[in-house]
Amino acid sequence: MWYSTTRMNSLALASETTVPVSNQAKPRPRFSTARRPFSR
């Protein structure tokens, strides 16, 4: 039981760390591409 809970916690931590990074990485290129036409 304890081993399974620690495994779930590690999986939750991994998902929490990977999700925000991907979310932050996606809007960055979108904003840069959106700024290019606006600047032109």
What are the DSSP calls for 15-36, one per residue? HHHHHHHHHHHTHHHHHHHHHH
The span from the CA of 39 to the CA of 33, in Å, is 10
**pLDDT number for residue 20:** 56
pTM for the model stands at: 0.26
pLDDT tens string 1-38: 566 677 766 766 666 555 555 555 555 555 555 556 55
